[in-house]
Amino acid sequence: MELRRWPRKNDAESIRARQEVVRGLTDDGEVLWDELSPWERANEALTGVAVIPVSVIGPLPISLGQYELREPDGVVAETGRGLEDVFVPLAHTEGGLSASLYRGARAAAESGGFRTYVLHDRITRASCFVCKSAADAVELASWLDAELPSLQAWVAEQDDPSLSKRARLREVKTHVVGPMCHVLWRWTTGDAVGANMMTRNSYVLNMGYVLERAPVPIERSLLEGNMGGDKKPSFEYFQTGHGKTVIAECTLTDDAVRRVLRTTIDDLLELAWVGTHGAVASGMQSVAFTPASAIAAIFAATGQDIGMVGTSSMAHGAGRRVDGGLNVSIRLPGLEVATVGGGTTLPYARSWLRLMGCAGGGKVYRFAQIVAAATLALEISASAAMATAGSENFFRAHHERGGLR
């Protein structure tokens, strides 16, 4: 069959046609489900399914903040806080991961639980206007820098149906390089990740406002000039955030470190010191152990965009001895999570979101915090395993028992 004749639609006949073509190529046809209609709008050229096993770990005790976006500045403001027990679903096939996260969660539970904070909420579409000179690009940038209130008012009053009302323009940041005037449109998008809604709105802004009123001629307008951070880690968003910026922390007691994690605070601190310098030495942006493992597992279970695992797992962890034990924390600057839209309302995903009390509107900050706490749980346990496994004492003990097995 030629590529150009491949049926793309998701009507029953097209699905069957594709299934017939590929059936002999698959292992046993188990993937070619008859009933794919729940997903007919999620994925063109639907042909079958992937099934990933899900563990549930919990309950994790988390002190969760309640947050709301303060108007008109769009600051994330904490309005309350409560300790809750949460079960976390993990979809993956990495033996040991769930057990390790569970161990980290127990250590935290014995130390008073996790505390989580949402610091920031923005998503950015970075358009670029190419001018004929840097002079013009500089003038365009100056104009845009001062235009925010007008831009916001203009968007609000359009009744263009392609515009999303939920996406609200919060800030504009310009960055001129030669004749390029990059413009970072920063939006909030409610409980959705909002990639599509900010894209549509940015397009309308570019076309209907900027090109119409710009004080200089614009030779080319590009909707995204790669300063927007979509699915590619960058320093810009490691620092300023893409999606939700969240911190989870816990102060592990000496006792929990010793009994549950079977290591010591000193060992963990030595590991943190080595690991931080190792990250620097290898040009690693994040300082952390394995945040992507936890984030990917929750994303896969809950219908998140797993293409965003890389950006969402940018992480900055830190550990410090304090009164009462070892304070450990992780900062996830670009957690791109949703509780509405995308895959979140589809079968299976919606169930796993509901398990956490995170399905639907008004839940996204809660969900972001739970992801952060689960990520920290895994960091704690994985670090503990690394901190002791290689030590000389460990080695000697093994040797005395008769080998390295």
Could you confirm whether 305 is annotated as catalytic?
yes
Distance CA 57, CA 28 (A): 32
Strand-pairing partners, residue 118, are 246
Under the criterion CB under 8 A, does residue 348 sit at the interface with a copy of itself? yes
Give the tokens for residue 348. Answer: 């299976």
Of 149-157, 159-167, 361-369: span binding a copy of itself (CB under 8 A): 159-167
Cβ distance to a copy of itself smaller for residue 190 or 241: 241
Q: Which of residues 306-335 bind a copy of itself (CB under 8 A)?
A: 306-311, 313, 315-320, 322-323, 327-329, 331
Could you confirm whether 68 is annotated as catalytic?
no
Q: Which of residues 51-90 bind a copy of itself (CB under 8 A)?
A: 51-61, 75, 87, 89-90
Cβ distance to a copy of itself smaller for residue 41 or 150: 41
Q: Which of 64, 148, 337, 119 has the alpha carbon at shortest distance from 240? A: 119
Q: Which of 68, 78, 398, 399 is catalytic?
A: 398
Q: Which of residues 111-130 bind a copy of itself (CB under 8 A)?
A: 115, 117, 119, 126-128, 130
Q: How far is the CB of 171 from a copy of itself (least distance, A)?
A: 13
Q: Which of 122, 350, 363, 366 binds a copy of itself (CB under 8 A)?
A: 350
Q: Which of 305, 316, 336, 379 is catalytic?
A: 305
Give the tokens for residue 315. Answer: 């992480």
Q: Which of 281, 400, 401, 402 binds a copy of itself (CB under 8 A)?
A: 281
Q: Which of 218, 120, 178 has the alpha carbon at shortest distance from 209? A: 218
Q: How far is the CB of 190 from a copy of itself (least distance, A)?
A: 19
Contact 244, 368 (CB under 8 A): yes
Under the criterion CB under 8 A, does residue 194 sit at the interface with a copy of itself? no
Q: How far is the CB of 312 from a copy of itself (least distance, A)?
A: 8
Under the criterion CB under 8 A, does residue 170 sit at the interface with a copy of itself? no
Q: Which of 69, 151, 216, 218 binds a copy of itself (CB under 8 A)?
A: 218
Residue 305 Rama label (left phi>0; alpha psi -120 to 50; beta): beta
Q: Which of residues 198-217 bind a copy of itself (CB under 8 A)?
A: 203-204, 206-208, 211
Under the criterion CB under 8 A, does residue 384 sit at the interface with a copy of itself? no
Distance CA 253, CA 257 (A): 6
User: Would you mind telling me the total number of residues written for the chain in this entry?
Assistant: 405
Contact 398, 404 (CB under 8 A): yes
Backbone dihedral angles phi then psi of residue 80, each to the nearest 5 degrees: 180, 180
Could you confirm whether 94 is annotated as catalytic?
yes
Q: Find all residues with CB under 8 Å of 216, minimum gap 6, and list them.
A: 131, 136, 137, 139, 140
Q: Which of residues 247-276 bind a copy of itself (CB under 8 A)?
A: 247, 249, 251, 270-271, 273-276
Distances (CA, A) of 371 to 88, 312, 320: 8, 10, 22
Give the tokens for residue 160. Answer: 């263009």
Cβ distance to a copy of itself smaller for residue 191 or 249: 249
Cβ distance to a copy of itself smaller for residue 194 or 343: 343
CA 291, 292, 295, 298 dihedral sign is negative
Q: Which of 233, 234, 134, 252 has the alpha carbon at shortest distance from 182? A: 134
Distance CA 240, CA 228 (A): 12
Q: Which of 190, 194, 225, 243 binds a copy of itself (CB under 8 A)?
A: 225
Residues with catalytic annotation? 94, 305, 398
